């Protein structure tokens, strides 16, 4: 049984300007110890997916229209608040993009680190502090015994991100949701943080959902990757399969537009048009209006996400029918 | 060889730090740019890379004289900008334009695209009033925006389109050189590709020089002819872009290159990574000698003694490391 199984999740935002279908029918699962990467551009619904699982969607305007998120037999979206509280922050925790806005500037780091332990466990404060200190050392903060009493502003950006990781991991969660944890950091610091997440994951045996827009980060870290666009999953596959034999035109287009994979100086491939307006009903494939291979069929009915080979699923009608070969583009 | 359009000679930009409650006195200075010598040729794209806080944005602002220089000279077309009078500076600005990182902050929200693009034309007296309209339409065409958008406001555009407006504004005066400070960092991958293509075409088509500042090395490698790597206010390596990034010689460039994730699982998992410990040191009190020595895996005692100068390191390449030969 997978650790987390999300089925047909729909999160809509009801605003004065209309209904925004931020997440529109997303299903996936995460096994114990697995690293799942979710990639997509801004507005693709990758963060909202995570926020929905964590119960962080402001309601209103947001509303979870349908779906279940089964975590070890409990539906996180429909269980009682009490049950949810016993899981969130303890067995599932989350780290965010910007550590400065996610740490409380008024509280010493020590207080923020022991808080999850005091709330969730019957750990006495002294022991909680000892465990917090242990975690600070595990994330590679030198002189932790002294710096645990610092305020967040006394740390640099990379160190703050370490503090946030320590805070998320202090309860030894089974699932860590990381929402662009390295986007705001320099590449050298990003390399440190990725190394840290990789090491701690091995030590603690936890599963990780890693949200990012950087295909490079995904390549090094993730076992499986799903590509999102317009609130839907376009393709999901093992990391090697996704990079070496993509099956959805959007995945391929993303790859072709990164300078790192193209010969120097040559014109980069660009995706024409603009990201989809999720406030409008999209009857067909969300990518069809920008896809170079779209035919009438693509805009008529919404293609489902179906497996083409074990573990590799995509939502392109034409690839499935054998009319185009995305890999060879 | 084409002439140098822009020359920087030992440029320094220090910001004073004041302390004291009633009587303010200077207690130190932030050495944001600390002795940079560079030249940009006509039609050349020079990439400038480095971590945040290394002084690359301050260098851009110094070139444009948006912050006063502490020392050294910025020479545009043979004229020292530090000594130029206000009137001369206004004339120089026609040749020297800037594109900023955040197209949400750099465009005036109360001005239509037409007003934004027409303003420099009128201020510099380039067009007669009757010609402004045609020139604005032409500019919009150059950057791939339909002229019918001229009467819209910035909030009606997406990030990529706004960056196009910012580029059009920079092009309005037909400059010789454009300084672009992280012009694609705020954009999504697919939009980033569009803007990179546009900048590449413009430089080729108009024989325009470009100083392209970014922290993403793969983007810099793609667009630049030469690249300069900055660390703590100084250039540590300089050379042809593909050479420097594919075969870096300075230990800092090596670490920087090794930190970029490669979008290929096989390569990414097989490679050996140099993970630098710690954060860049503070430019208020930089380490003695080579500023990189506290984080450098190759540092020896000699590195602490003197600031290493840029020395030749292969064809058309320079690096500021005294152990280049020893570390191979």
C-alpha–C-alpha distance, residues A30 and A5, integer Å: 6
Answer for the pair A52, A11: CB distance below 8 angstroms, yes or no. Answer: yes
C-alpha–C-alpha distance, residues B163 and A160, integer Å: 31
* Sequence ranges of chain A with CATH classification 3.40.50.300: 4-222
* Number of Cβ atoms within 10 Å of the Cβ of A220: 23
pLDDT lower than 50: segments of chain A:
none
Most B CBs within 10 A among A42, A157, A158, A187, hence the mutation to make, goes to A187
Cβ-Cβ contacts under 8 Å, B273 against chain A: 191, 195
- A218/B188 CB distance under 8 A: no
C-alpha–C-alpha distance, residues A192 and A156, integer Å: 14
CATH of the domain at B250: 3.40.50.300
Structural domains of chain B, count:
1
**DSSP element (H, E) containing A175:** strand A175-179
* Number of Cβ atoms within 10 Å of the Cβ of B80: 12
Query: Beta strand A35-39 with A92-95: parallel, antiparallel or unpaired?
Result: unpaired
Residue B314 maps to a domain: yes
Looking at the predicted structure, is the pLDDT value of residue B278 above 80?
A: no
Buried b (16+ CB within 10 A) or exposed e, A157-179: bbbbbbbbbbbbbbbebbbbbbb
CA distances from A29 to A17, A112, A304 (A): 33, 31, 16
- A267/B256 CB distance under 8 A: no
Distance in Å, alpha carbon of B260 to nearest chain A alpha carbon: 6
Helix (H, G, I), strand (E, B) or coil at A271: coil
Q: What is the pTM of this model?
A: 0.84
- B189/A270 CB distance under 8 A: no
Answer for the pair B77, B26: CB distance below 8 angstroms, yes or no. Answer: no
Tokens of B200: 């590449």
C-alpha–C-alpha distance, residues B45 and B204, integer Å: 10
Residues 6 or more apart in contact with residue B10 via CB below 8 angstroms: B35, B36, B37, B71, B72, B73
- B200/A156 CB distance under 8 A: no
* Number of Cβ atoms within 10 Å of the Cβ of A91: 18
Architecture of the domain defined by A4-222: 3-Layer(aba) Sandwich (3.40)
Residues 6 or more apart in contact with residue B190 via CB below 8 angstroms: A41, A253, A254, A257, A270, A271
C-alpha–C-alpha distance, residues A132 and A85, integer Å: 21
Range of the domain at B83: 4-20+27-95+173-327
Looking at the predicted structure, is the pLDDT value of residue B286 above 90?
A: no
Tokens of B116: 């934004």
Phi, psi (deg, nearest 5) at residue A186: -70, 155
User: Which whole number is the average pLDDT over B264-284?
Assistant: 79
Note the pLDDT of residue B2: 54
Cβ-Cβ contacts under 8 Å, A275 against chain B: 158, 188
Cβ-Cβ contacts under 8 Å, A270 against chain B: 190, 193-194, 197
Looking at the predicted structure, is the pLDDT value of residue B138 above 60?
A: yes
B250-265: pLDDT as tens digits: 999 999 888 888 888 8
C-alpha–C-alpha distance, residues A140 and A297, integer Å: 54
Residue B264 maps to a domain: yes
Tokens of B156: 């009606």
Report DSSP letters for B264-297, one per residue: -HHHHHH----PPPS-PPPTTSPPSSSTTGGG-T
* Number of Cβ atoms within 10 Å of the Cβ of A123: 15
Nearest by Cα to A199 from A155, A161, A169:
A169
Cβ-Cβ contacts under 8 Å, A187 against chain B: 51, 215-217, 256, 259-260
Answer for the pair B116, B123: CB distance below 8 angstroms, yes or no. Answer: no
Q: Counting beta carbons within 10 angstroms of the beta carbon of residue B34, is it exposed (0 to 12), middle (13 to 18) or buried (19 or more)? A: buried
Residue B87 maps to a domain: yes
The H-assigned helical ranges of A62-186 are 81-87, 99-102, 109-120, 125-138, 144-147, 157-169
Helix (H, G, I), strand (E, B) or coil at B229: strand
User: Which residue's structure tokens are 């950087």?
Assistant: A214
B59-101: pLDDT as tens digits: 999 999 888 889 889 999 888 988 888 888 888 888 999 998 8
Give ipTM to 2 decimals: 0.78
Residues 6 or more apart in contact with residue B246 via CB below 8 angstroms: none
Distance in Å, alpha carbon of B124 to nearest chain A alpha carbon: 34
C-alpha–C-alpha distance, residues A156 and A216, integer Å: 24
B172-215: pLDDT as tens digits: 988 999 999 988 887 888 788 888 988 988 888 888 999 999 88
B227-253: pLDDT as tens digits: 999 999 999 999 999 899 989 999 999
Note the pLDDT of residue B1: 45
Answer for the pair A206, A173: CB distance below 8 angstroms, yes or no. Answer: yes
Buried b (16+ CB within 10 A) or exposed e, B196-230: bbbbbebbeeeebbbbbbbbbbbbbbbbbbbbbbb
Query: Beta strand B311-312 with B318-319: parallel, antiparallel or unpaired?
Result: antiparallel
User: Which residue's structure tokens are 């000699």?
Assistant: B302
User: Which residue's structure tokens are 């504004």?
Assistant: B169
Q: At what angle do helices B251-259 and A187-204 cross, to 10 degrees?
A: 50
Report DSSP letters for A209-257, one per residue: EEEES-HHHHHHH-SEEEEEETTEEEEEEEHHHHHHS--SHHHHHHHHT
Q: At what angle do helices B159-171 and B129-142 cross, to 10 degrees?
A: 130
* B275 vs A192, A260, A274: nearest CB: A192
Answer for the pair A111, A118: CB distance below 8 angstroms, yes or no. Answer: no
């Amino acid at each position: 049984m997978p650790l987390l199984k999300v089925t047909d999740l729909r999160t809509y935002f009801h605003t004065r300007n209309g209904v925004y279908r931020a997440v529109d029918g997303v299903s996936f699962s995460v096994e114990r110890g697995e690293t799942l990467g979710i990639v997509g551009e801004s507005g693709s619904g990758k963060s909202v997916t995570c926020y929905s699982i964590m119960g962080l969607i402001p309601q209103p305007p947001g509303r979870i229209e349908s779906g279940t998120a089964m975590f070890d037999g409990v539906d996180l979206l429909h269980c009682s608040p009490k049950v949810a509280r016993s899981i969130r922050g303890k067995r599932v925790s989350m780290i965010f993009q910007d550590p400065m806005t996610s740490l409380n500037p008024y509280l010493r780091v020590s207080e923020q680190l022991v808080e999850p332990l005091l709330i969730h466990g019957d750990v006495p404060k002294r022991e909680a502090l000892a465990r917090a200190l242990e975690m600070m050392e595990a994330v590679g903060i030198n002189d932790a015994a002294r710096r645990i009493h610092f305020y967040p502003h006394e740390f640099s950006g990379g160190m703050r991100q370490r503090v946030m990781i320590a805070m998320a991991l202090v309860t030894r969660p089974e699932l860590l949701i990381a929402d662009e944890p390295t986007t705001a950091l320099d590449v050298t610091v990003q390399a440190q943080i990725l190394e840290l997440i990789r090491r701690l994951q091995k030590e603690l045996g936890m599963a990780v959902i890693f949200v990012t827009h950087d295909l490079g980060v995904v390549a090094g870290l993730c076992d499986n990757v799903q590509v999102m666009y317009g609130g839907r999953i376009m393709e999901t596959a093992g990391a090697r399969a996704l990079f070496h034999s993509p099956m959805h035109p959007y995945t391929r287009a993303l790859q072709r537009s990164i300078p790192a994979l193209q010969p120097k100086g040559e014109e980069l491939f660009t995706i024409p048009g603009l990201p989809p307006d999720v406030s409008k009903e999209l009857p067909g494939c969300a990518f069809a209006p920008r896809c170079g291979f779209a035919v009438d069929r693509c805009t008529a009915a919404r293609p489902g996400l179906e497996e083409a080979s074990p573990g590799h699923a995509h939502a392109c009608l034409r690839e499935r029918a054998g009319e185009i070969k995305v890999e060879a583009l | 060889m084409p002439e140098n359009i822009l020359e920087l000679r030992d440029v320094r930009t220090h910001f004073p730090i004041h302390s004291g409650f009633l009587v303010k006195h200077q207690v130190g200075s932030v050495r944001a740019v600390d002795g940079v010598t560079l030249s940009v040729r006509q039609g050349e794209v020079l990439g400038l890379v480095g971590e945040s806080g290394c002084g690359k944005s301050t260098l851009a602002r110094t070139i444009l004289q948006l912050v006063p220089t502490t020392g050294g000279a910025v020479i545009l077309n043979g004229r020292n900008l530090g000594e130029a009078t206000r009137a001369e500076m206004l004339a120089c600005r026609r040749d020297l334009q800037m594109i900023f990182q955040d197209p949400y902050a750099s465009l005036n929200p109360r001005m239509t695209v037409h007003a934004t693009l027409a303003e420099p034309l009128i201020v510099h007296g380039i067009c007669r009033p009757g010609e402004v309209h045609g020139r604005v339409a032409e500019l919009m065409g150059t950057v791939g925006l339909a002229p019918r958008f001229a009467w819209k406001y910035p909030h009606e555009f997406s990030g990529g389109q706004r960056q196009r407006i910012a580029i059009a504004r920079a092009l309005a005066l037909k400059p010789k050189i454009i300084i672009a400070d992280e012009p694609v960092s705020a954009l999504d991958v697919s939009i980033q590709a569009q803007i990179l293509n546009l900048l590449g075409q413009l430089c080729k088509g108009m024989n325009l020089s470009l100083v392209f500042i970014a922290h993403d090395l793969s983007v810099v490698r793609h667009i630049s002819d030469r690249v300069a790597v900055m660390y703590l206010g100084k250039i540590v390596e300089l050379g042809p872009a593909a050479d420097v990034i594919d075969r870096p010689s300075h230990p800092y460039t090596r670490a920087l290159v090794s930190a970029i994730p490669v979008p290929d699982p096989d390569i990414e998992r097989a490679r050996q990574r140099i993970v630098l410990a710690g954060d860049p040191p503070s430019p208020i009190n930089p380490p003695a000698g080579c500023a990189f020595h506290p984080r450098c895996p190759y540092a020896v005692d000699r590195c602490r003694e003197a600031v290493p100068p840029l020395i030749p390191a292969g064809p058309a390449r320079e690096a500021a490391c005294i152990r280049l030969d020893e570390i191979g």
